[in-house]
A and B are shown apart, each in its own frame.
Chain A
Amino acid sequence: MKPPPFRYVRADTLEEALAALAAEGEDAKVLAGGQSLVPALNMRLVRPGALVDVNRVGGLDAVTRRNGSLAVGATVRQADARLLAHPLLAQALPHVGHVVTRNRGTVCGSVAHADPAAELPLCLVLLDGTVRARSERGGREVRAPQFFLSHFTTALEPGELVVETVWPLPEDGAGAGFCEVAQRRGDYALCMAGALVRGDDLRVVVGSVVDRPTQLDVDPERPGESAASQVEPWGNTHASAGYLKELVRVVVDRAVAQARQRAAA
């Protein structure tokens, strides 16, 4: 349970971080909060040649309201009270790990890590948010539904750093809902769903039971049932496939009910 050897590069500026990522290429991993990366190192599930530590890079710790969205910089921690200005983040963040891991874990790091059972990627897809990446070649923006490709796999290229994630705020009259079932508080979700309601529009995204946050076209009259009919969860040691399918029905119905309630309020 000790990390394998790696080179350690402490970047103090964005330019230094991007130069280090360019130099190390595919062999590099970005170290931000480290709440997923360091466990993976300790268990030797990953053996990167180099870690590029971005914690001291200036200018990446902003939370900014911009064009109806909340823009969150790369080193903003999940415990940051400024995030609570976003109603969906305020609902989902208490489920992200524990108080102490949220003190270090970053919002952008969770997005870049792309664990299919993580709450923040699901929220970003539900909101149709954006990932802003930078490399020495320049910057680009990737919409969340195109960013998450599969388990722990994203559209990020070697040399790229997520500098900001952009979280659209629900418009007036819209409502967001989030529901998950986990074995214990703070554990990864066995199953989770988010819903966004605006007038007759209903958007539903499910997670944990799929390889990436997945938007489903659901029947607004019976959202849970129709969502459950569209996914084929694989069972695991904690829950059978049949039980997980039943959880999809439950969490989708609860998330939709919550979103409708908030839209009406």
Chain B
Amino acid sequence: MTEIAVTVNGRVYREAVEPRLLLSDFLRGRLGLTGTHVGCEHGVCGACTIRFDGVAARSCLLLAVQADGAEIVTVEGLARNGALTPLQEAFRSHHALQCGFCTPGILMAAEDLLSRAAPPTRDEIVDLLSGHLCRCTGYTPIVDAIAEIARA
């Protein structure tokens, strides 16, 4: 077991973890933050995407031990006191989610893209979403929701 100290959504956690524990399972099983979803567990579906030291990353392809000292934001860290972020509001108004399985990963990846210096083009948004599998709404409303924030 290895001791780690990791900041998740602004709160510091000190935990002993086995080296083979995936960060996605640490977040869900140990910290109870089940908003991070686990789909394929090999980096293809995008459902487990979080922000790791500010950068969007697959939590199923990171080990919990690698997060020692890291600052992590999961989907639970977006809304403040029940108030959704503008991106989350845009997902609602554009009907950009149905079952919601892929949504947390897409939100975290899109938040990273939208935080870059230049607002993303529609093509860049589509390219980002090639790494996120959605099987119900179709991608058009998701692209529309992210594009609305990019324009704002």
A100 at the interface (CB under 8 A from B): yes
| Mask of A1-35 contacts with B, CB within 8 angstroms, 1/0 | 11111111010000000000000000000010011
B56 contacts chain A at the CB level, 8 A cutoff: yes
Let me know if A98 and B46 touch, CB within 8 A.
yes
Given A35-B43, A98-B46, A185-B127; A51-B19 close (CB under 8 Å): yes
CB distance from A239 to the nearest CB of B (A): 19
Instruction: Report A96 CB to chain B, min CB distance, Å.
Output: 12
Chain B residues within CB distance 8 Å of chain A? 2, 18-20, 22, 25, 41-43, 46, 49, 55-58, 60-63, 65-66, 68, 109, 112-113, 127-128, 130-131
Residue of B nearest to A50 (CB): B19
**Interfacial chain A residues near B60, Cβ < 8 Å:** 38, 42
Top 5 A-B residue pairs of the complex, sorted by shortest distance between their CB atoms: A98-B131, A8-B19, A39-B42, A185-B130, A1-B41
Q: A2-B20, A3-B20, A100-B109 are known contacts. Are A34 and B130 too (CB-CB below 8 A)?
A: no
* A6 with B19: CB separation less than 8 A: yes
Contact assessment for A98 and B41 in the assembled complex, using a CB-CB cutoff below 8 Å: no
Point out the residues of chain A lying under 8 angstroms from B128, CB to CB.
98-100
Complex Cα–Cα for A4 and B18 (A): 11
Question: Which B residues are in CB contact (< 8 Å) with A38?
Answer: 22, 43, 60-63
Shortest distance between the CB of B91 and any CB in chain A (Å): 18
Chain B nearest CB from A83 CB (Å) reads 16
- 14 inter-chain pairs at a CB distance below 8 angstroms, sorted by A residue, are A4-B20, A34-B62, A34-B63, A38-B60, A38-B63, A39-B42, A39-B43, A41-B20, A42-B60, A53-B66, A99-B56, A100-B128, A100-B131, A104-B61
| Distance between Cα atoms of A185 and B123 in the complex (Å) | 12
Given the complex of chains A and B, what is the CA–CA distance between A218 and B113 in angstroms? Answer: 42
Q: Are A34 and B56 in contact (CB under 8 A)?
A: no
- Asked if A233 is at the interface (CB within 8 A of a chain B CB), the reply is no
* Chain A interfacial positions (CB closer than 8 Å to B): 1-8, 10, 31, 34-35, 38-39, 41-43, 51, 53, 55, 94, 97-101, 103-104, 184-186
Distance between A171 CB and nearest chain B CB, rounded to angstroms: 31
CB pair A186 B131 closer than 8 Å:
yes
Is B130's CB under 8 angstroms from A184's CB? Answer: yes
A43 / chain B contacts, CB cutoff of 8 Å: 42
- Distance A33 CA – B19 CA, assembled complex (angstroms): 16
Q: A2-B25, A39-B61, A104-B55 are in contact. List 17 more A-B contacts (CB 8 A).
A: A1-B41, A3-B20, A3-B63, A5-B19, A8-B19, A38-B43, A38-B60, A38-B62, A39-B43, A99-B128, A101-B43, A103-B57, A104-B57, A104-B58, A104-B61, A185-B127, A185-B130
User: B61 contacts which chain A residues (CB < 8 A)?
Assistant: 34-35, 38-39, 101, 104
CB nearest neighbor in B for A7: B19
Q: Tell me, in angstroms, the Cα distance from A5 to B55 when the chains sit together.
A: 28
Contacts of A7 in B (CB 8 A): 19
| Known A2-B22, A38-B43: A101·B66 in contact at CB below 8 Å | no
CA distance A84 to B18 in the complex (A): 38
Residues of A within 8 A of B42 (CB): 1, 39, 42-43
A39 to B56, CA, bound (A): 17
| Docked-complex contact B22 and A94, CB < 8 angstroms | no
For A53, what are the chain B residues with a Cβ–Cβ distance below 8 Å?
65-66
In-complex Cβ contact of A99 among B18, B22, B109 (8 A): B109
B63 close to A8 (CB less than 8 A) = yes
Chain A residues near B2 (CB, 8 Å)? 8
Asked whether B113 lies within 8 Å of A3 as measured between CB atoms, the reply is: no
Residues of A near B22 (CB, < 8 A) are 2-3, 38, 42
Chain A residues within 8 Å of B131, by CB = 97-101, 186
| A103-B55 Cα distance, complex, nearest whole Å | 7
Task: Write out the residue numbers on chain B whose beta carbons fall within 8 Å of the beta carbon of A10.
Answer: 65, 68
